Amino acid sequence: MSNHLFGHFLDRMPSRDRVLLHTADGPAMTYGGMLDLSGRIANLLLAQGVEPGDRVAVQTEKTIEALMIYLACVRAGAVYLPLNTAYTDHEVSYFLGDAEPKLVVLDPVRVETLASAVYETGASLLTLGEEGKGSLMLGSKEQVTQFEDVAREPDDLAAILYTSGTTGRSKGAMLTHENLASSARVLVDYWHFSQDDVLIHALPIFHTHGLFVATNTVLMAGASMIFLPCFDADEVLRMMERGTVLMGVPTFYTRLLQQPDLTRQATAGMRLFVSGSAPLRAETHAAFAERTGHAILERYGMTETNMNTSNPYDGPRIAGTVGLPLPGVELRVVDAETGAGLPDGQIGMIEVRGPNVFKGYWRMPEKTASEFREDGFFITGDLGRLDERGYLHIVGRGKDLVISGGYNVYPKEIETELDQLAWVSESAVIGVRHPDFGEAVVAVVVPSAGATPDEAATIDALAERLARYKLPKRVCFVDELPRNSMGKVQKNVLRERFASLLDG
């Protein structure tokens, strides 16, 4: 038996001397270098007592070494658990307590405040900082490069990615080797990836888009990538001279459009621009086509399902749609209450089934059961309709969720924190249109009796507990929240009232 996911990568791997990773300055690591370093780190994981199935939690900056930890985990049969660098100590402590990792890798700057939470879970701790500083790279230097990949079945876990929930409590989505392998296999074919491709990688590597859609597809194709620490429109535009594909969230494209140098000539060497994680506005699609001659290819996915649909590579890429179900993915639109199928054209709940769909939520069997139908379809929480060509249009969300610059923010989580503040009587958190992030978080707060509410103090109080991208861009104080006859807060009324608050 082989290691299912890594075996796929090995099957398609080019020669050792081919470059896998470039930085903005030039070639940085070959495929051989990747095998050697991920082999050393995999040996270090074993030396640290990590056994197949053990979780390895990682919160570090985006570096080549950090990417190698992911591959080392896959090779060692461990379960990789990446954490957004924006998560506060409070948030990270929850994830560690819930996932009970065997090993935690942290940026040295986080050790002082997080070490006690790590040791409370019984995990060991390694560090990885800038330029490979820290105990991870020191320890891996003492290990050999040869590593016999641990055998893993398609159904074995490869990763757990936490996603917030409508109840405010984050859930760990369990992704198997085959979930990741099947999605990457399909995307390589569907998007025509080859060994000649050079992906401009400017996404973070702690979520599905940057970690799996981008990295696994490159590895599965034997291609290469220019690995940038973060998105900077100017730098990404310069990299288009050397790249062939860009994957991004819609904010990447609205920011690129603000660059006067974004022209047909500047993008002439590029063959594909992919957008996902949040809705791409039809006007952004049109403006990009006008400036560059490229039709952005929009696709739709989720942490729990990897990629579900994509506009075609060869056929028409229709703005405002997320395209057709990918090969192997079954997709239907049903009545959200009854689960009964709906005729094409009608709006309902989007449900999917296929090898891409996750195994369930970590240690939450009841939550898992409630999000699957009996016939195995996963209830996405997204509302959509299929048109006469079979293209899917996402028209809204059945879940109370804000997507800001491609990051998901669940209002319940922010409301729970707000309601604990002495000067807050009750709160409602909504998403409103934002010129840069698509949507952004706004809090509507009813102050406690006699309190003198202060917007900046409210945001500051939340900042200790919540990642910065989740913080409300504005806090609006009101006398009361609008409610329906059942007493439920009418968020649609608030969204209308504050619709243009941030649309500057």
Residues that bind ligand MLC (CB under 6 A): 203-204, 207-210, 230-231, 249, 251, 276-277, 301-303, 404-407, 437, 440, 468-469
Residue among 50, 104, 322, 409 that touches ligand AMP (CB under 6 A): 322
CA distance 298 to 278: 10
CA dihedral of residues 73, 75, 77, 81 (deg, nearest 10): 20
Nearer to ligand AMP, 276 or 472 (CB): 276
DSSP character string of 216-260:
IHHHHHT-EEEE-SS--HHHHHHHTTT-SEEEE-HHHHHHHHT-T
Cβ contacts of residue 488 below 8 Å, gap of 6+?
none
CB of 62 to ligand MLC, least distance (A): 10
**Scanning residues 173 to 212, which ones bind ligand AMP (CB under 6 A)?**
208
Does 408 engage in binding with ligand AMP (CB under 6 A)?
yes
Instruction: Find the residue with minimal CB distance to ligand MLC.
Output: 405
Which region, left, alpha or beta, applies to residue 438 given φ > 0 means left and ψ of -120 to 50 means alpha?
left
Does 163 engage in binding with ligand AMP (CB under 6 A)?
yes
Does 351 engage in binding with ligand AMP (CB under 6 A)?
no
Residue 223 interacting entry, from ligand AMP, ligand MLC, none, C-beta within 5 to 8 Å by type: none
CA distance 372 to 374: 6
Amino acid at 387: D
**Which range touches ligand AMP (CB under 6 A), out of 14-22, 191-199, 272-280, 424-432?**
272-280
The edge-to-edge listing of strands for the beta sheet with 348-353 is: 330-334, 348-353, 378-386, 392-397
CB of 244 to ligand MLC, least distance (A): 20
Closest to 391 (Cα-Cα) out of 458, 306, 334, 320: 320
- φ/ψ (deg, to 5) at 201: -105, 100
Does 84 engage in binding with ligand AMP (CB under 6 A)?
no
Dig out the tokens for 197 from the structure.
């491709």
DSSP-derived secondary structure letter, 470: G
CB of 350 to ligand AMP, least distance (A): 8
CB of 352 to ligand MLC, least distance (A): 12
Residue 361 interacting entry, from ligand MLC, ligand AMP, none, C-beta within 5 to 8 Å by type: none
Nearer to ligand MLC, 129 or 406 (CB): 406
Closest to 411 (Cα-Cα) out of 427, 433, 434: 427
Measured CA to CA in angstroms, residue 71 lies from 153, 335, 354 at distances of 16, 41, 24
Burial of 155 (0-12, 13-18, 19+ CB in 10 A): exposed
CB of 131 to ligand MLC, least distance (A): 21
CB of 46 to ligand MLC, least distance (A): 30
CA distance 234 to 291: 16
Pattern of binders to ligand AMP over 366-395, x per CB under 6 A? Answer: --------------x-x-----------x-
CB of 261 to ligand AMP, least distance (A): 27
Nearer to ligand MLC, 9 or 437 (CB): 437
CA distance 85 to 53: 24
Pattern of binders to ligand AMP over 113-152, x per CB under 6 A? Answer: ----------------------------------------
- φ/ψ (deg, to 5) at 228: -100, 145
Does 303 engage in binding with ligand AMP (CB under 6 A)?
yes
CB of 434 to ligand MLC, least distance (A): 8
CB of 247 to ligand MLC, least distance (A): 9
Residue 380 interacting entry, from ligand MLC, ligand AMP, none, C-beta within 5 to 8 Å by type: ligand AMP
Beta strands 26-30; 19-23: pairing state: antiparallel
Does 225 engage in binding with ligand AMP (CB under 6 A)?
no
Dig out the tokens for 459 from the structure.
């945001």
Longest alpha-carbon distance in the chain: 71
Residue 152 interacting entry, from ligand MLC, ligand AMP, none, C-beta within 5 to 8 Å by type: none
CB of 76 to ligand AMP, least distance (A): 26
Interaction site with ligand AMP (CB under 6 A): 163, 208, 276-279, 298, 300-303, 322, 380, 382, 394, 397, 403, 408
